[in-house]
Amino acid sequence: MNRKSLMFALMVAGLLTAIGLGILGPVQAAKEKYFDRSGRLIVEEKQAAELLRAYDTKNREPEKTFPVPPPPFSEDIFPCSDCHADMEPNLQRRELEDMHTDIVLHHAEGQRWCLDCHNPNDRDVLRLVSGETIPFSESYRLCGQCHGIKLRDWKVGVHGKRTGYWNGDKQYLLCAHCHNPHDPKFKAMKPLPPPVRPGEARH
Amino acid sequence: MSDHSNCKKNPLAIDRRTALKGLATGVAALALPASDASASVWEAFFQKHFRELSKVELKQVLARLSKEYSEEYGKEVTVKATPAIEGVKYGYGLDLSRCIGCRRCVYACVSENNQSRDPQIHWIRVMQLDKEKGVDLSRAEHYYNPKSVPEDGHFYMPVQCQQCERPPCTKVCPVQATWKEKDGIIVVDYNWCIGCRYCMAACPYGARHFNWGQAQLPAEELNTDTHYLGNRPRPIGVVEKCTFCIQRTREQPGRYPACEEICPVGARKFGDLNDPNSEIRYLIENKRVFIFKEDLNTQPKFLYFYAT
């Protein structure tokens, strides 16, 4: 064994020990710093896993669900499995020519197509990037993957229309009730008539 | 010979004091409702200020008004006087980054709050402003009427009563016909208002409106759920204003105001300022808030904000 290979073996052994220590060694603690409402700096010791709770997909708490009216499906289109159950999913990104031609994707279309959101194996549900499938009634979680700040505002009732009772049952709407998910920008609309000018009054 | 003795000599002469007394009584009698007027007119004439009414009197007043309106419009009209909910202070938020100026709120308000169709009264006025210039009122246009909104380079700012914590309008009322309620809503007692319009001059937001003519209000469009201090049909010659839909929001559970409910872009937010979990508190704590004419220190509870 020459010196070169000995050095290499030592390095590999050292690396393996380091990794082993990392896994088995003491759990990494970290400091979380934030300001409270009065502007005071708060420092808390936290476990690393706690800090990264959002990424801990296995152990995190289940998502809170919101009472929403039924999703706004086009007529007679749901359940999708009525047609799709017997069809072999074609994962090839392509322009649809036979069916769903009325849907024109105008929502970062350069970066995605149908099966990025629609689940290829069971069309009756949607699929998150994590692989988790969710019903259409929870589609806000799908939108929230990119529009996180909007989702956060929506959950507290600041984004989106809130109807119902201000001190009772609040009615939430799905993103898709107001925004067409395939073309989400609001369309311009005709304003209702302006007020009568003082000189135009018939008195 | 003095004038005094002259007077005494003429049996038909009346002295000045008697003449003036007689004249005053006559004028007073003219001002009173005619003797054949119905009992309800007399009751309305001698009705006390809203805040001085006892519970029994208030009940009678509400019953009288309800009967009057029901007869006038040919359908059952309820008039209530729901008091403020304890511990609640209403606040309103309007997202300037979302409003597209479609005026849906203006007309939802008109029909919910029984505003006169002709002469036209709108409690909400939407201003079209230049994005370049910001909130510059010399460039505000509220008669805009393009084919479609929003127009490029513009943003829209609906203005209605700002429900000030320090309202200039109530201070100037010579008869205290307008005041701030416990829940922060500024209200008008239409039966007590004398129509002097001082409050309109005092309001820096142009949020008060005067009934110049007899309100034209089609019976089929009348909202029959009314509040004494809010959307009951108003008589000629009184001032009226936005009340945060007092007939809805004071109920438990209380519906959202009509303008909030209609907004197609969800730009309007409503809630309790005293509730730390309300939408309005969240937006105050987390968003950029703009207070209209903040320099006047009226302390509005109607806040403009920027959600994006």
The predicted complex's ipTM stands at 0.83
Query: Is there a domain that residue A38 lies in?
Result: yes
**What are the pLDDT digits (tens) for B219-266?**
999 999 999 999 999 999 999 999 999 999 999 999 999 999 999 999
- If asked whether residues A74 and A150 sit together in one domain, one would say yes
What pLDDT sits at residue B34?
Answer: 61
Q: Which residue has the higher pLDDT, A47 or B42?
A: B42
Confidence check: pLDDT of B160 > 70: yes
Query: Is there a domain that residue A121 lies in?
Result: yes
Nearest to A192 among B107, B255, B279 (CB): B107
How far apart CA B90 and CA B111 sit, in angstroms, is 22
- If asked whether residues A47 and A82 sit together in one domain, one would say no
What pLDDT sits at residue A90?
Answer: 87
Q: Which two tokens stand for residue B169?
A: 């309008």
- The three-state secondary structure class of A163 is strand
- If asked whether residues A36 and A82 sit together in one domain, one would say no
For residue A20, give Cα distances in angstroms to A23, B91, B268.
5, 58, 56
- If asked whether residues A38 and A81 sit together in one domain, one would say no
What pLDDT sits at residue A37?
Answer: 73
The nearest CA of chain A is from the CA of B37 a distance in Å of 29
Preceding omega of A195 cis (within 30 degrees of 0):
no
- If asked whether residues A120 and A177 sit together in one domain, one would say yes
**What are the pLDDT digits (tens) for B205-219?**
999 999 999 999 999
Domain containing A48 equals 28-61
DSSP state of A64: P
For residue B11, name the pLDDT band (cuts at 50, 70, 90). low
- If asked whether residues A136 and A157 sit together in one domain, one would say yes
What pLDDT sits at residue A94?
Answer: 86
Strand residues in chain A grouped as ranges (E): 29-35, 41-47, 125-127, 133-135, 163-164, 170-171
- If asked whether residues A49 and A109 sit together in one domain, one would say no
Mean of pLDDT values over B147-167: 96
How far apart CA B46 and CA B174 sit, in angstroms, is 19
Q: Which two tokens stand for residue B51?
A: 């805040």
- If asked whether residues A39 and A83 sit together in one domain, one would say no
Q: Which residues contact A82 (CB under 8 A, 6 or more apart)?
A: none
- If asked whether residues A46 and A129 sit together in one domain, one would say no
For residue A201, name the pLDDT band (cuts at 50, 70, 90). low
Query: Is there a domain that residue A16 lies in?
Result: no
Preceding omega of B235 cis (within 30 degrees of 0):
no
Q: Domain count for chain A, please give it.
A: 2
Q: Which of A158, A171, A173, A202 to mutate to test the interface with B (most CBs of B within 10 A)?
A: A158
Nearest to B283 among A37, A158, A166 (CB): A158
Cβ contact, residue pair A167, B282, below 8 Å: no
Cβ contact, residue pair B307, A197, below 8 Å: no
- If asked whether residues A45 and A109 sit together in one domain, one would say no
Tell me if chain A has a CB within 8 Å of the CB of B149.
yes
Mean of pLDDT values over A106-125: 90
Q: Which two tokens stand for residue B286?
A: 């987390």
Residue A164: its chain B contacts at CB < 8 A?
255-256
What pLDDT sits at residue B67?
Answer: 94
Query: Is there a domain that residue A192 lies in?
Result: no
- Starting at the edge strand found earlier in the chain, the sheet holding B288-290 runs B268-272, B90-95, B302-306, B288-290
Tell me if chain A has a CB within 8 Å of the CB of B306.
no
Strand residues in chain B grouped as ranges (E): 78-80, 90-95, 125-130, 154-159, 178-180, 186-188, 209-210, 225-227, 239-240, 268-272, 288-290, 302-306
Bridge partners (DSSP) of residue B268 are B94
Q: Which residues contact A43 (CB under 8 A, 6 or more apart)?
A: A31, A32, A33
Mean of pLDDT values over A30-53: 76
Q: Which of A166, A172, A189 to mutate to test the interface with B (most CBs of B within 10 A)?
A: A166
- If asked whether residues A83 and A142 sit together in one domain, one would say yes
Query: Is there a domain that residue A95 lies in?
Result: no
DSSP state of A116: G
Q: What's chain B's average pLDDT?
A: 91
Taken in order A164, A167, A169, A170, the sign of the CA dihedral is: positive
Query: Is there a domain that residue A164 lies in?
Result: yes
Confidence check: pLDDT of A19 > 80: no
**What are the pLDDT digits (tens) for B85-134?**
999 999 999 999 999 999 999 999 999 999 999 899 999 999 999 999 99
Question: Nearest 5°: phi and psi at A126?
Answer: -100, 165
The answer to whether B305 and B290 are in contact (CB under 8 A) is yes
Strand residues in A61-162 grouped as ranges (E): 125-127, 133-135
Residue A167: its chain B contacts at CB < 8 A?
85, 88, 252-254, 272
Q: Report the phi/psi class of residue B134: left, alpha or beta, with left for phi > 0 and alpha for psi in -120 to 50.
A: left
What pLDDT sits at residue B193?
Answer: 96
Residue of A nearest to B110 (CA): A195
Q: Which of B98, B103, B110 to mutate to test the interface with A (most CBs of A within 10 A)?
A: B103
- If asked whether residues A134 and A118 sit together in one domain, one would say yes
Strand residues in A3-91 grouped as ranges (E): 29-35, 41-47
Query: Is there a domain that residue A57 lies in?
Result: yes
CA B133 to chain centre: 31
| Burial state string for A143-162 with b = 16 or more CB within 10 A and e = fewer than 16 | bbeebeebbebbbebbbbbb
Query: Is there a domain that residue A171 lies in?
Result: yes
Cβ contact, residue pair B104, A192, below 8 Å: yes
Confidence check: pLDDT of A202 > 80: no
Confidence check: pLDDT of B161 > 90: yes
Following CA atoms B285, B290, B292, B294 in sequence, which dihedral angle do they give, to the nearest 10 degrees? 70
The nearest CA of chain B is from the CA of A101 a distance in Å of 28
**What are the pLDDT digits (tens) for B52-75?**
999 999 999 999 999 999 999 999
